[in-house]
Every structure is written in C-alpha cells, then in structure tokens.
Structure 1
Amino acid sequence: MFDRLKKNEEQGAYTSVKNLKNKRGFLGKASGASSRGGFEQDKNRFRTIWVIALVILGLLIARAYYLQVANAQFYQDKGDELITSVRTQKSYRGMITDRNNLPLAVSAPLATVSFSPHDYAREYYELKRIIITNPESPQLVARMQKRLDNMDLTTLAAAANISVTELKKVTAIDDSIDVTDEAAVKAALPSGAGSHYLPLLNKVTPEIAQSVSTLDFPGVYEKNFFQRYYPQPQPNSQLLGFMGQNVSDPEGGYEGRAGIERQYETELAGDDGKVLVLKDAKQNSLKEIKQIEPEIPGKDVALTIDSRLQYLLYKELEKAGRLQKARWSTGMIVDVQTGEVLALSTWPSFNSNNLNEMTGENQRNRALLDVFEPGSVMKPFTVAAALDSGKYTATTLIDTNPGSIRVRGYTIRDHNNLGMINMGTLLQKSSNVASTKIALSLPPDAITNMQRQFGFGSKTPLQFPGEGSGLVVTPKEKETSRRATLSYGYGLEATLAQVAQAYSALAAGGVMHPLTLTKDDKLQPSKRIMAHEQAMSIVQMMESVTEPGGTAKGAAIDGYRVAGKTGTSRRVNPKGGYYTDQYRNVFAGIAPASNPRLVGVMLIEDPRVQIYAGLTVAPVFHNVMKEALRLYNVPLDKPLKTIAQ
C-alpha cells in the first residue's frame, strides 16, 4: 500500500491545481501530497487508525467475553428477573387428630378473589388506543375489539354477585378522553383507597372462586391459601393452641403460636415449595415454568386424646364452674396402664376459629401451666413416705388428740378430734394432725424425697410449651413448721398434670408411666418408684374416701370400687398469707380400685357457692369417670345397687 502511495506521489496524482500554481507553502516549504513529508504523515496516520481500531475491537471482544462467558450467569439472572419470578408454594399443614383419627385441627383450602379498578381501567384505555391507532390492521383491531367486548362489567358483576353499579363507580371509565394522550389516560385512572383492591369473594372454597377467576377478566386476581379450622374448638382450644402470623415470613404466612400447634410446628408445617413463573409486563403471573424446590406436605400428629371424653370433660367442668360461680376449672383423665392422656380441658375457653374471643385468661392451659399448693391430695404420698420408712404400717395407730397440735407457735387442726387413727382413717378423714406427726417423726427430707420420687418439682415428659415445673424445697431439720405443712400439701407448688402422673403411678402399683399426649412419641421407659404391695395398700386405703364417712362420697360410682382423695386449700393472697374466704378444690380419683384402669383429677378455682372439694369437684369426677368406664368397657368390680320396688 505504501509503495502505491509513493508511486502516486511521484506521478503527482495527489497534486491539486492550486498546488500546481503555487508549489511553495506559506512557510516557504513545499506543500502537497507529492512531498516526502506528506507520505510519512499519511503512513503514521493510517497506523494510528489501525491501532485504535484494533484496541477498540479488543475491548469489544473482552466486553463480550465478560458478559457472555465470564459473568454470563449474573446477567442471565438479571434478565430472568424481568420476565420471571419465584413464587412460594405453600405446603399443606398436617392434621391434628385424636386417638381414633377424628380430626381436631385441619387446614381447609380457601381462596380470595379481588378486583383492581386501576388495572381494569388501564387495560381498557390501552385496548382503545390500539384500536384507534391501527386502522390499517383490521385483524389486530378485530382481536382488540373482541377483548374489549369481553370486559363487560355486567359479566363480572353476575359471577361475583356484586352490583354492576358499584363496579362502574370504582372503575370510573371515561370514554371521552383522548386515549392517545398518555397524560390524560394517567389522570383518568382510578386512584386512592380501593383503587387497587376491591374484594369480590373472601375466604371461599376454590370451586366457588373459579366461577370468577376462570373468566380471565382484566384486573381480577385470585389468592389461594389454607386456613386452620378446629371442628371441636372450645374443649380443645388451650390444648391445641392457635395459629398466628409469622413476622419473619415476607409473604405473611402463619405458624403455631401455642399448644400442640406450636410444640409440633416443624412436623405439622412441612416445607414450602418454590416455583418459577413467567410474568407479563404488568408483573402478572402467566404460567408456571418449572418446580425449583418440591413442596413437602406437613405430617399429621395423632394425639392420645379421646374427643368423646374431651367433650364430656369440658361440659362437666363448665357446668360445675358456672354452678359454683368459680374463676375457672380444669381436669385430666389418664390411662393408668400407658400414661396416655385421654382428656385434658379447661373452662372458660374460647372459640379457636375466632381469636377475637381469646383473652389472656381463657387461653391458659391451666392443668399444665398453672402451679398451686395442692393441699390434702398430697397426703397419700405422706403415707407412702411413712410406709417406706419402715416405722409405720397400714395399721399403725397415731394419736390425734385433742384434734390439734402446736408447731412453732402455729396451731394445726383437724375438723374434729379423731382420736387414735390408722393410715386408712388419716386419708378418709384427711387428718392434718396425723400427717404432721408422721412428718416430724421422719428425717427432714423424707416427705420431699417421696414427693420428688412421684414427679413433683419437675416438668412432666409432655414437654408442653410453657409447662410449669412446680417447686419442692427440702426444709431444714429445725424448720418444723415447714416440715409439717409439706405433709398436707402446703409449702410446695405443683401442676395438676403432676398430680395426675403421681396418682397414675400409685394406681399402676408403684410404676411410673411417663405421661404422653401423642401416639407417635417415643415413650420414655417406665420405672418402679415404690413397692407394688405398698402402692396398692395406699389405693385400698383411699377407697374409704368415697365410701360413707369419707370426704368424697359424691365421687362414688355404682358398680365400681373408687379410690380417691380430696384437697381443699386456701388461695394465696399476693399481699401475704392466705385468703380467709377463697379456696381451691381438688379431687384425684382411681377406678376401678381393684384393677386400676383410669385416673381422673379435677380442680375448681375459688368456688363461691360451696367450698369443699367433696361437694364441688367430686361430682365432676363421678360424671366423667362413669362415662369413661363405659366407653372403654371396663368390667364392674362391685355389685350394682338394687333399687327397692
């Protein structure tokens, strides 16, 4: 190339007419393409251009490599974000069932269909603009006109059972505006409250929602979700708990907030799936592209609860609570042979399908959360400590004269002077004096060691959220008043579940079967905590409590031998000491006493009509246990009473 340039220069091929007339430059040097300096300048200029071109090409290649090879995934993901999105696919929450597989909590599929007047109007004006601006495309105009005709609000109103007048009002379509004027269209679009969301169908079945969503109507959106439903709400509300919004979920999902729903949240919830969906320019989902993560449905949780007994227990607790004008009442039924909780309920309750009824008081599972001084229901364990010490037998006589005893300046009394009594009479008449004499005759830790042995002072194996552990503190030797009060159920704290577990161990012949609420739980091993003969002798002593002369004749059941113990204790005054006019009534019973199968414990807090457990909670035990024995076909162990003709 440069040879040709040199040859052309020599031939004057690049010399202009002007240069032919004036071969000298303004500096007196030769000018024009024919000069040697001009050739060198052109060669350098071409070289510079080629270098620049090659550098630019190299930069373009490097940029293309960076975009398409080195960082291709990043930009591909960015592009995908414009046309796709990842949608969470909510997993189906598992059911909670009773021991007979009857549903106690289920997730019902529901849908909400809403209408956006803003989106509808925007689509309406856009279709009209396309029709007006494309007269040369009759096929396009025909398609757009058909879509416009299908946007008749009368069709939507009929499907959603809503006034067409209301729909026209919220969409506020103005056919007089210039749809080609973007500013005019924007000003005409609905704005303000309700312009983007108008509910058409709220929490309906998917089948009902389809009557509207299948219209493929612009501005109509469907949201599918699951709502928890409780078929038997009041008897189970404190046990099952409830669902609450998960604040850490960006999509506003729900999670178990109390009870079984919370305790087994992981098992019930499962894992949500993720689906890649294609979006249109308005960010509406068009179709599912692929499943990114599979949805894993939650597992069902089967409880040991018998919903028949649960309902019966709740109704009896409610009846007694209302009759006695009490603060609240609670109770449990336990299978002696397995430790399974067959019923556990509290009154007052709330409708777990309507959380507006829930308060801080009626949502508490009293049998598991609340701790209290149990009173005389602890006396069988004082007798157990006496028998275990070897100093006492079932027939050992204890002098309770004159019906009271002074301990460290305090007077401990019985209701009457019982005189010389044995262990059976101690339980039958609920003697505080005899219990005190036993406690003071034993080492300081004898009573508390026996109480701990039966599970007091520790949470039960139920692991229920918020469950109370109670408190058992061993007194020092000189703390004689505390040693005395512990023997008849004061000076310690317990839950009703601990009382039920302890009585179940007595009924099982001294074997502790840990309590359980679910059928799938891995049961903790049972352990013997007392000799069989001693445990059964205490059960036999407690039979006298429900017989004539005992404190709980109202707990007796025709055809069955029933063992039990009442407890009437004063309520603690937060300001110090005890109330003189407020009581707590507890009854713990075992049936049938000859071959124990079921244990029932009942509690009424602050009854205002009657104050003794034999009159308030013993009848509750009678009514519930009679039906429980019938439901489980437990054989009679006592002749039925004959009715005189």
Structure 2
Amino acid sequence: MFLNRKRLYILYGSIFFIFLFLVLRLIYLQIISSENLINSGNKRSLRIQNILKSRGVITDRMGRLLAVDIPVYSVWVDPQEISKCNGVYNDISSWSVISKILNIPIKKLFVLLNEHHTDRFVYLSRQVDSIVVQKIKKLKLSGIYIQQESKRYYPAGSSAAHLIGITNIDNQGIEGVEKSFDSWLSGCPKTRLVRQDRSRQVVEEIALLNHGCSPKSITLSIDERLQFVAYQELSNAVSLNKAESGSIVLIDINTGEILAMANSPSYDPNNFSIIDQSVMRNRAITDSFEPGSTIKPIVIMMALEHKVIEKDTIINTLPYVIHGHRIKDVSLHNELTISDILKKSSNVGISRLALSMPVSVLIDTYIKFGIGEMTNIGLIGENKGRIYSDIKYYSAIEHAALSYGYGLMLTPLQLAKVYATIGGMGLSRPISIIKIDNPVSLISSENQVFSESLVRTVIDMMDVTTLSNSGCCKAAIEGYRVAVKTGTIKKVGPHGKYINRYIACMAGVAPSSNPRFALAVVINDPKNGRYYGGSVSAPVFRSVMSSALKIMNVNPDFLQK
C-alpha cells in the first residue's frame, strides 16, 4: 500500500515538473525570446516580392502590333529539397526524361544540382511553352517547380528588328525602341511583403509596400507596310550587289514622322539564341559616312542666295588644280549651266561655286540642315555625324571638297532629314519616331533655312523627268515627278587614304510638285561590278517611293498624254 502511494507521488511529481518545465519553456518562448524567434521565422519565410506587369505594346501608326508580351514559363528546382529526397538518383528515369524535355545533358543536370545542393532556387530553363510544362507536371517530381512569366514577340520579324530592338530573358529592353523607352514600356513594379512556404509559394500577403506604376504602350510613326517594303527592297539590293550592308529611311515631309527605317543585313528578334551581335546595331543612326554628291543641291542654294550665280549662269567646268590636287569630273565638259552641274554631278562646277563663298557660309548652312547635330528622336546610340565648325581647319582643297560631300560625315537618318528640309521648301522640322497626333504643336520648333522660291528652283533642277541622260533616270516613277540626287563616295581604307571601294546612295523627294516624302537609300561597299548610286541605289528608291505614294494615296502629278 505504502509502495503504491510512493509511486503515485513520484508520478504526480514527474507530471508536475514536466508541466512546470513546459510552462517555463512556454514563458521563455512566448515572452523572453519571442522577438528573436519571430525574427528568425520571418527571415526564413518573409520575402519582398516585385510584381511586374506585362510590358506595354509597341504598335505602328495604324495600331498594328510590332512588339507584344506572350505567356511563357520557367522551370526551377529546389536542390535542398531534392537532396532530402535522396537526390536525382532516387528517380533516375524521371530525371532522364527531364533532361530530354529541357535538352539538358543528364550529366550537366547532375553537376548543376550537386554544385547548388545547399541552395533553394536554381533555374533549369527559361521561357518554355505550355507543352513542355505539361510534360514536366505529369512526372510529379519533388523539388521541381513551374513559374509563369512572359517574353516579347515581334510580329514584324527581321524587317523592323533594328528599330524595335529586343529584350533580354528578363524582359528588359537591350536594343532599339525597347531599350530607349524601357522605363516607359516597363513601368514600375508593384512591391509587396509576403510569406512563402518551403516551396516558395505565397501563403500570405503581409503588406503592399509600393503600388508601382502601369506600363505604357507606344505608337510609333512608322507604317508597318512601308517598313516591310523598304526592308525587302533594301535586302534584295544588298544581296544582288554583294554589298556589305545597306540602310534606308523614309520621312513624311509634312509632319517630320519617320515612316520607315530599315537596315540589311538584319536578324530575327524572335530567336535571340542565334543572333549575330555584329548585325544588331541600327546602322541608319549609328554609321556615319561622307555624303558625296547628295549634298550638292545645298551648295547651289547657297550660291543662289548669296548672288554668286543666277539660275541660268554658265560655269567653266574644265579641270583645275588646287595645291597639287587636280579637281575633275568623270566626263569632260568645257562649261555647264547650273542645272547641268546637278544633272552631270560636276565636282568642278560645284567646287568653283563653293570657292566663290567663304567656307563659313558652307559650314553654317550645313549645320542649319542638321549636319553634325543630333536629330533627338530618342533612340540610344545615335551618331551626330561630324563637321568642323572652326574655319582654320579648312585649306582651299578642303573648302572645295566640302562642296561635293567630302570632309563632313552624316548618318542615313540625317541625310533623309536634309532632304525632308529640301522637300519642305526650306522649312526644317523636327523629326520623330513617335506618331505625332498634333503636328501644329511643333510649329514653334520649325526653322526656315532657305526661301521657298529658291528651294523650288533647285528642286526643279533635280526633277528626274528632265534628267533622262543622267544616272538618276532609274529613280523615275510613272505618274509622278520625282526630284533626286545620287552620290558615289570613295571609302577610306585602314591607313586613312581613299581606296577603290564605294558607298552608293540616293536621296530625293516626291512628288516634286508638292513634296510629301523624303527618302534616303545608302548601300555600303557593293562588289558586284556596279557601284554608282544611279545603278545600285536608284532601283531601291524607285520601288520604295512608288509604294509609299500608292499606299498613302498621293495623287499623281505627272500624267503624260
């Protein structure tokens, strides 16, 4: 009896002390160490999560999609969880299937998981489609998870790749409009404090830290139809002439909007893995060149304005020598009218006019046309070209060379802008890659470089309907008057001297009776026997300008009987 009571006391005592220990432990955990424990738990489960919304879409002026987000998925693993389940070797057959589905060698998969066995998050593959996801889900493997995200899709493909650009795997802009307007397109992410479980799934939203800002869409000034035509015609010419590259820019003279900007060779923006980095730059804004004879109409305008000549003046065009440099033309002419100087593209004639004016006049006028200045269309990587404003850099021969386009540098975009100013009857307008809804608002930024009557005189001299014997005749468009000028420019070799390699270009406006479009075509280093602008670039000019006139419903102005 006594023994049983003693056992009972021992039992009661044990229960009491156990209860006391639990109470003390509870007090310790809930009161004394509660803050440390809460902090420790929060470190393991609380996360700041950025919620990115889909990027804004990019459309052409008519609302056609040029860049849009599409849903894709990422496959990631928790190596620590996989290790607790005896690793890959626990289900080697299923992981072999994963290897085949994701196209990852099984050995590489083993190495990846072993190297990160203490980590809780490692990507296996990004931007996979729903078919791959369904195959992985059927395997029901522990430690492998699916995360939805988005990637960019470009409906226009290669034709607008340089202009639109691309995003990286995290959907951040890295080229073109995507990069230049990245903050606008991506907005600001919403930030929240959440609690996650061991598989990184959100189980509780604690607080909203930042509401973020919504991405915005962009409507570009380009017309997707004209962009495609420009790219196709340019690519055909680059291929046919075995050229290194080519660029083309089309501008609406009335608004300054860029309707097409293309380069060749191009790349497929929807297949980032095979993109050749060397063809990614937008040559229309990054590559500058000496414009050659395409600059001559400006010199004629200067000479007319400064009363050096009248429009019917006849100029001596026999070759002459300046400081040991012989200036001559391709064909010998004793004398030419001002109009014929443009038609025959006479270096002798145009340089005599330039030498009759101070070099500062040429420099100042070129700058007024935007040469050596940024166009400010907002695209990252633009080259402003080059022209030295200090006259001390110019000897007599350099003064003369300025008149036929040597000694200054501009981009294809700047050349198109020069001719947009000519087509605007001397009125220089800002140009834009963004659609302009209210052109009237830009009037304060316009600048009259030359008088309308003077520019009209020179445009008439450039009209291809009167140039049947010149290299410009291949630019003629049935039903329309077209004013153009070609350029064939020698390239500078690796040792700083001119070599027998060329840039063939053509620039002009149409319809010349009331110009609506300015177009510049530049083809770099043609190697198929022909290299003159009138042979290489003129057919591209004709095809693209003809398409622009018809697609934009511009009435013919030259109906022959």
User: Would you say same fold, with TM above 0.5?
Assistant: yes
Aligned with 1:329 (options 227, 246, 249): 246
Residues 415/302 of structure 1: CA separation in 2 closer, same or farther (3 Å cut): same
Aligned to 2:543: 623
Counterpart mapping for 1:190-589 below 5 A: 192=114, 203-205=127-129, 209=133, 218-244=142-168, 253-280=170-197, 282=198, 284-290=200-206, 291-400=208-317, 402=318, 404-474=319-389, 475-476=391-392, 479-519=395-435, 523=442, 525-544=445-464, 547-579=467-499, 581-589=500-508
SS state at 2:450 partner: coil
Per the TM alignment, residue 334 of structure 1 is displaced from its structure 2 partner at its CA by 0.5
- Cα distance, 1:106 vs. partner? 1.4
- Tell me the CA shift for residue 364 of structure 1: 1.9
Q: Distance in 2 between matches of 1:161 and 1:357?
A: 22
Q: Which residue type is aligned with residue 149 of structure 2?
A: F
Q: Quote the Cα distance in structure 2 between the aligned partners of 1:545 and 1:432.
A: 23
* Contact kept in structure 2, 1:92 and 1:270, CA below 8 Å: no
Q: Indicate if the aligned counterparts of 2:292 and 2:488 stay in contact, CA closer than 8 A.
A: yes
Match of 1:595 among 479, 500, 514: 514
Distance 1:336 1:79, change over 3 A: same
Q: How far did residue 384 of structure 1 move?
A: 1.2
Change (3 A) 1:515 1:219: same
Task: Say whether the 8 Å CA contact 2:221–2:436 is kept in structure 1.
Answer: no
Match for residue 95 of structure 1 among 57, 61, 71: 57
Q: Look up the match of 1:606.
A: 525
What number of residue pairs does the alignment pair up? 519
Q: TM-score, normalised by structure 2?
A: 0.83
| In 1: Cα distance, 2:58 partner to 2:309 partner | 49
Distance 2:199 2:335 in 1: 89
Task: Report the CA distance between 1:546 and its aligned residue.
Answer: 6.7
Give 3-state SS (helix, strand or coil) of 1:255's partner. Answer: coil
CA–CA separation in structure 2 for the residues paired with 1:117 and 1:575:
57
Deviation of 1:572 after TM superposition, in Å, equals: 0.8
Q: Secondary structure at the match of 1:361?
A: helix
Partner of 1:86: 48
Deviates more, 1:199-208 or 1:601-610: 199-208
> Take 1:309 and 1:378, find their aligned partners in 2: how far apart are those partners?
26
- Please give the alpha-carbon distance, in whole angstroms, between the structure 1 residues aligned to 2:478 and 2:109: 73
Conserved? CA contact 2:464–2:473, under 8 Å: no
Which letter does structure 1 place at the counterpart of 2:498?
Y
Using the alignment, how far apart are the partners of 1:385 and 1:542 within structure 2?
16
Unaligned runs of 5+ in 2: 1-26
1: distance between equivalents of 2:521 and 2:479?
21
How much has 1:277 moved relative to structure 2?
2.8
Distance 2:397 2:113 in 1: 77
Alpha-carbon contact 1:546-1:563 (below 8 Å) kept: no
Rounded Cα–Cα distance in structure 1 between residues aligned with 2:304 and 2:346: 17
Checking the alignment, whether the CA contact within 8 Å between 2:255 and 2:436 is kept in structure 1 is: no
**Deviations along 1:239-264, whole A, 9 cap, x unmatched?**
1222236xxxxxxx442222111110
Distance 1:332 1:419, change over 3 A: same
Identical residues among aligned pairs (%) = 31
Q: CA deviation at 1:103?
A: 1.4
Cα distance, 1:372–1:202 mapped onto 2, change above 3 Å: closer
Greater shift, 199-208 or 364-373, is seen at: 199-208
TM-score normalised per structure 1: 0.73
Q: Within 1, Cα distance between the matches of 2:108 and 2:542? A: 63
Counterpart for residue 21 of structure 2: none
Code of the residue aligned with 1:358 in structure 2: it is: I
**How far is 1:362 from its partner?**
0.9
Aligned residues of 1:567 and 1:613 also touching (Cα < 8 A): yes
Looking at structure 1, the residues matched to 159 and 181 of structure 2 have their Cα atoms a distance apart, in angstroms, of 20
Q: Structure 1, residues 337-386: CA drift from partner, whole Å, max 9, x if none? A: 01100000000011122234333431121111111111000100111110
What are the Cα deviations for residues 382-433 of structure 1, in whole angstroms up to 9, with x where unaligned?
Answer: 1111012123221222121x3x121121111112233332221111111111
Equivalent residues of 1:235, 1:345 under 8 A apart:
yes
Change in Cα spacing, 1:546 to 1:301, as seen in structure 2 (3 Å) is farther
Q: Secondary structure at the match of 1:311?
A: helix
Letter in 2 for 1:607: P
Stretches of structure 1 that go unaligned for 5 or more consecutive residues are 1-59, 126-150, 173-189, 246-252
Task: Give the equivalent residue in structure 2 for 1:109.
Answer: 71
Code of the aligned partner of 2:114:
G
How many Å separate the matches in 2 of 1:255 and 1:171? 28
Distance apart, 1:108 and its partner CA: 1.5
Structure 2 counterparts to residues 5-24 of structure 1, below 5 A: none
Higher relative contact order (CA 8 A, sep 6+): 2
Q: Is the Cα contact below 8 Å between 1:275 and 1:288 reproduced in 2?
A: no
Judge conservation of contact 2:99–2:109 (CA < 8 Å) in 1: no
Larger Rg: 1
- Quick check: 2:150–2:171 contact (8 Å CA) kept in 1? no
Q: 1:161 to 1:378 in 2, by over 3 A?
A: closer
- Tell me, in whole angstroms, the C-alpha distance in 2 between the residues paired with 1:349 and 1:203: 23
Preserved CA contact (<8 Å) 1:339 1:516 = yes
Q: 1:520 to 1:75 in 2, by over 3 A?
A: farther
- Which residue is 1:9 aligned to? none
How far the C-alpha of 1:502 sits from its partner, in A, is 1.0
Q: Secondary structure at the match of 2:305?
A: helix
The superposition leaves residues 593-619 of structure 1 with CA deviations (integer Å, 9 ceiling, x where unpaired) of: 001011111011111120111000000
Cα distance 1:288–1:587, how it changes in 2: closer, same or farther (>3 A)? farther
356-365 vs 369-378, greater mean Cα deviation: 356-365
Residues 209 and 288 (structure 1), Cα distance of their counterparts in 2 relative to 1, 3 Å cut: farther
Cα gap change, 1:469 to 1:478, in 2 (>3 Å): closer
Counterparts in 2 of 1:318 and 1:595: CA distance versus 1, 3 Å: same
Whole-Å Cα distance in 1 between the matches of residues 544 and 74 of structure 2?
A: 43
What's the offset of the Cα at 1:115?
Answer: 5.7
Q: Bigger shift: 371-380 or 449-458?
A: 449-458
Contact kept, 8 Å, 1:427 with 1:545, in 2: the verdict is no
User: Residues 478 and 369 from structure 1, CA distance in 2 versus in 1: closer, same or farther, beyond 3 angstroms?
Assistant: closer
Write the distance in 1 (CA, Å) between the matches of 2:48 and 2:140.
22
Q: Contact 1:117–1:171 (CA<8 Å) still a contact in 2? A: no
- Native 8 Å contact 1:318 1:329 kept in 2: yes
